[in-house]
Amino acid sequence: MCCNQGNVVLPNMQQPPKILNDLIFRSEHRSKHFLDNIRSYNSMFSFTSMGGRTDRDINRGGTPPIFRLNGQNYHKIGSLIPNEGQRPKFLQMYLTDPEEE
């Protein structure tokens, strides 16, 4: 895969570990459970949380959901250490700003 007339060459993606590959591509009970709950598993490792409303007027349900941002974008983050009696909410926080790259 390349871009910018070959000036940038991206490395090939590595194969996922066998256990993850099996969870994604096998047809056993564990695989079905994993795929049915994949958003929950993904959320366990999320860095930040971003909420909003799905704009259904743009895609009319024919494509993946589209999120349109208007104005200031805010991130919700949990504290590094949860309050007593509360469950942890996020693994950690990582924000990137293209203008600072």
- Per-position pLDDT tens, the chain of length 101: 457 777 878 788 888 889 888 988 888 899 999 999 888 887 776 656 666 666 667 667 677 766 666 777 666 666 667 778 877 666 544 445 566 55
pLDDT for the residue numbered 16: 84
Residue indicated by tokens 């096998």: 26
pLDDT for the residue numbered 53: 64
pLDDT for the residue numbered 92: 44
Residue indicated by tokens 């929950």: 40
| Distance from the Cα of residue 58 to its chain's centroid | 22
**Contact (CB, 8 A) for 77 and 48:** yes
Q: Tell me how far apart the alpha carbons of residues 38 and 44 are, in angstroms, rounded to a whole number.
A: 10
pLDDT for the residue numbered 32: 92
pLDDT for the residue numbered 20: 87
pLDDT for the residue numbered 31: 92
Task: State the pTM of this model.
Answer: 0.39
- Count CB atoms within 10 A of the CB of residue 19: 9
